[in-house]
Structure 1
């Protein structure tokens, strides 16, 4: 397939039409010229053209009607209008109907090429932005968030319900549990998905800088304010602002933020005229905001404005079923990044990982996996390598079945394990987490035995 940009030319002046066609062909474009506008509109099919160049004044169907009909078929196609009578009213009318540019007769070939190049670059940027948005939306679809535990499923069900409702959400949980990931999932599954998602860590900046970062300032408002500056709240207009570690907001910033949540307006530093924006506020904290309200370091009225809906993320130690899935995901990422071929965690390493409390939660697991992949020389991350990065208690690692067992006892034990596991999975409809809880077994052990006996969860769900 040719990569040439495809241009449709429409002009009832045959000489001018052929001249434009020749110029564009000479510069590598794929061009088809029409001197009858009806024929051009009839042949126009979305996706087959990159640009339309049409005269305005034509018999039968004029250029404005061509523009309207083409835009009905393909709203994103750029259209350049040509006219010998470029009045202000006509230009405004054409631009309102969706024209990208106006070209006034007579014009030089260089001007035609310049306008065409600009229109096609604009279209390419729009397409790239669309692809990036689709990629982001896909990345934060609920099914792409890693985990199978009941705790995470409950969170995602709640997130899915509130994503489309334009309310403030407070996300709570220990450090490293994935609060920003949930905030991004809310944004990219909301009606604001095509607008900006902006995040700021409220605990990472000093008070004076935090205020100007959030709300912006007017030139001359303070020493060093050499020009007007837009704050993050204004930059996120139409989209979402995520305030991480919101419990660290100083009192003066809390007051300004409360006014915004109540009135949808705020004052830049040094200004007396309020600025109005449309922004959804998502916030997160790993501290107990109710306790800070009681001590007077966090405004009670702001707390209730932020906490319209609360989503609490359980720590990783309460999501044991997710550890094997998360570890596999992080190993895959590392393999792609560095060209390695680690297949996973060895059984005893997986058991140790599932027993470990992970005080740093998912962030710590990711860092440990990255370090282990870098240090491991075999196909699997082994317990000796893993134990360099987490504390492994001997009594926390379940005993493994002896490999290569022989005799009647071993065969009877295998038959028992197969029947027991199948019955357990059948009873719990393939839910590994529930099966492990009922059996009092480690999740990793169940996965390992299923692999050993070639038992598939899908056969029981």
Structure 2
């Protein structure tokens, strides 16, 4: 464990010196105080990793120290020391936010054990918070790639839907990014601190799907050797994303319909209902209204799921986004494999924009990855791209001259970028991972005006 900053507060100087010596031998930076008021005057949020405080002290007692520390920095663990431990006192300290209680007299090894536990616990909390912040940032609407009008209109709708706790059905062809939209909804909703759990209904056999969703009691069926909580219970407080919802058996549809109506269900073999608070987001690439007509999908269940419908357009209807997505995937691969491919040649880019991409964004990502695996030049060539998709040999860039083709692309790209950002240069720069000065320079070069980009 790396060195941590520890504050010790105890009116016994000898005990302070002993604890400081033990903890400094472990490599920690320790400061001791015999006056709790002086310690609190010097306590600043973010400056300490752990506080160890006696309870019985003149001036203010340890419980007051605990309250002041937690009021200023709730994330700092506090270990309380007392020679007069009682159950009532321990409960009071723990209720006020103490991490642990240490009873005098104690051995150095016990001090180290309690301190390590407190610091490890705090490290896990920090890592968990950072992970959540990373996820929230990853699924921020600004990080969904594309400047086409059709995508921007969809994202405006998604942003409104995210904050309203209602069922959402996402439709669209395979590979259009339905799970990405579901994650964006979750991480921009009031449920973002709770779990997001995804299940592909078409990838799990019908025989075990009910147990996976609802759980089971021990002995409910052959092989049920222990109680199992289902995914609905695991997602309590958060979001359950059901991908390929059209593959659900009618029996499971009936149970989920009851859950949507009552917010409760019964595990297999259980006689007592389980109540949970879960938002359902579903997705499908099939026509569920036709499935309803055929009788393979319940009509009442369909309408319960389809309160809000979000339809993701196929990539062939978002041609303006293809260069942006390709650049994003190239950057990802460069970072992953330490390569320096700068992009597509004008010929390759023109071919990519003309291709229908039946596998949509997922196919584009895979093709870019495959091209980077075999490309030996600075940019992905048309010859390389043609090994993975059908290209029209007649496809040529708008101008045979590379500089003219590049200029035309940059002008179109800047127009789309600035239009999507309503002329906001800073927002456009963040979206494109560019320096603001670069955007100003290119606007001047091509005679573009910010006023012309405002919708």
TM-score (norm 2): 0.89
2:96 and 2:328 map into 1 onto residues whose CA distance is: 48
Mind listing any 5+ residue stretches in structure 1 that lack a counterpart?
406-413, 433-450
Residue of structure 1 in register with 2:208 after alignment: 209
User: Structure 2 vs 1, CA of residues 399 and 74 (structure 1 numbering), >3 Å: closer, same or farther?
Assistant: closer
Residue of structure 2 in register with 1:322 after alignment: 321
The number of residues matched between the two structures is: 428
- Please list the CA deviations of residues 79-118 of structure 1 after superposition, one character each: whole Å capped at 9, or x if unmatched: 0011112111111111010000011111111101100011
User: Structure 2 vs 1, CA of residues 155 and 399 (structure 1 numbering), >3 Å: closer, same or farther?
Assistant: closer
User: Structure 2 vs 1, CA of residues 427 and 280 (structure 1 numbering), >3 Å: closer, same or farther?
Assistant: closer
- Please list the CA deviations of residues 186-231 of structure 1 after superposition, one character each: whole Å capped at 9, or x if unmatched: 1111111122111100001111111111111111011111001111
Asked if 1 retains the 8 angstrom alpha-carbon contact of 2:194 and 2:237, the reply is yes
- Greater Rg, structure 1 or structure 2? 1
Residue of structure 2 in register with 1:222 after alignment: 221
2:256 and 2:414 map into 1 onto residues whose CA distance is: 53
| Offset of residue 15 of structure 1 | 2.1
| Offset of residue 425 of structure 1 | 10
2:262 and 2:345 map into 1 onto residues whose CA distance is: 56
Mind listing any 5+ residue stretches in structure 2 that lack a counterpart?
421-441
1:404 and 1:78 map into 2 onto residues whose CA distance is: 61
Residue of structure 1 in register with 2:399 after alignment: 401
Asked if 1 retains the 8 angstrom alpha-carbon contact of 2:350 and 2:397, the reply is no
Partner-residue secondary structure (3-state), 2:216 = coil
Higher alpha-carbon deviation: 340-349 or 322-331:
340-349
Asked if 1 retains the 8 angstrom alpha-carbon contact of 2:346 and 2:402, the reply is no
Matched, 1:27 2:26: yes
Superposed CA RMSD: 2.5
| Offset of residue 4 of structure 1 | 2.2
| Offset of residue 296 of structure 1 | 1.3
1:330 and 1:138 map into 2 onto residues whose CA distance is: 18
User: Structure 2 vs 1, CA of residues 425 and 204 (structure 1 numbering), >3 Å: closer, same or farther?
Assistant: closer
User: Structure 2 vs 1, CA of residues 425 and 253 (structure 1 numbering), >3 Å: closer, same or farther?
Assistant: closer
Asked if 2 retains the 8 angstrom alpha-carbon contact of 1:430 and 1:458, the reply is no
| Offset of residue 458 of structure 1 | 6.4
User: Structure 2 vs 1, CA of residues 242 and 429 (structure 1 numbering), >3 Å: closer, same or farther?
Assistant: closer
Residue of structure 2 in register with 1:8 after alignment: 7
| Offset of residue 358 of structure 1 | 0.8
The runs of at least 4 consecutive aligned structure 1 residues that moved more than 2 Å come to 398-405, 424-432, 453-461
Which aligned pairs between 1:47-446 and structure 2 lie closer than 5 A? 47-395=46-394, 397-398=395-396, 400-403=398-401, 431=419
User: Structure 2 vs 1, CA of residues 240 and 226 (structure 1 numbering), >3 Å: closer, same or farther?
Assistant: same
Residue of structure 1 in register with 2:17 after alignment: 18
1:188 and 1:133 map into 2 onto residues whose CA distance is: 9
| Offset of residue 72 of structure 1 | 0.3
- Please list the CA deviations of residues 59-96 of structure 1 after superposition, one character each: whole Å capped at 9, or x if unmatched: 22111111011100001110001111211111111101
